[in-house]
Structure 1
């Protein structure tokens, strides 16, 4: 049986919803979906889709670091949720800068709506071995 541990950090938004920011089981970390929410204010950041994408990835990196990882370098899979695929290229620019070397596997889907009416959300899987 696997050894499962919830991950919690003040460096990523937590909100008041009943979920863990991440769950580590053995050497794998499952990071919950994050929108462009500033963990200090629990409010979405202002700005264009690029700056919002950067905030999302900062949130994911914070959870990975809290689990003992090296931030985004440990991420092996990302799912990107966009409310408008017209923003795909700008999201991809910011995403590509964060994953310059050995980018993880990825899925990107357009959705009709995201919590908080944000325009981008991502979840991730990281390998912490």
Structure 2
């Protein structure tokens, strides 16, 4: 087994805690949960609503993956955290397939939580695999 490689993507979102954007070992990439902050304006207000926040989180995940030469097509597993599970779960499910090629959705777990950093409604972390 090779040693882990820790990635901090210069163009990526500003970390809200002490972590690497991603850690890679033996072709597996573990992407830290991303928030709906704007990498170009990290102190700007968050987008309003679950759809807009989810889209921003996915864009941030794409920046992190792209920074190491990967994309959403390399994602094998996603974990989604929602602060308003009962209210937002259906809207999230309606939007989720639009981010991936038809018939190629990653495995997924969605969890309701009491709170997230920066007052976000949603956070998503990923596991990806290099081809």
The two structures share one fold, judged by TM-score above 0.5 = yes
C-alpha distance in structure 1 between counterparts of 2:119 and 2:16, whole Å: 16
- Which has the larger share of strand? 1
Residue in 2 aligned with 1:50? Answer: 51
Q: Any idea what SS the aligned residue of 2:91 has?
A: helix
Residue in 2 aligned with 1:32? Answer: 32
C-alpha distance in structure 1 between counterparts of 2:78 and 2:130, whole Å: 15
C-alpha distance in structure 2 between counterparts of 1:92 and 1:54, whole Å: 13
Instruction: Give unmatched runs, 5+ long, in structure 2.
Output: none
Aligned pairs (5 A) from 1:1-129: 1-15=1-15, 17-43=17-43, 44-69=45-70, 71-85=71-85, 86-101=87-102, 102-129=104-131
1:66-88 per-residue CA deviation (whole Å, 9 max, x = no partner) reads 1121x111111000000011111
TM-score by length of structure 1 reads: 0.91
TM-score by length of structure 2 reads: 0.89
C-alpha distance in structure 2 between counterparts of 1:122 and 1:88, whole Å: 13
May I ask how many residue pairs the two structures share in their alignment? Answer: 128
Instruction: Classify 1:125/1:92 alpha carbon distance in 2 versus 1 (closer, same or farther; 3 Å).
Output: same
Instruction: Give unmatched runs, 5+ long, in structure 1.
Output: none
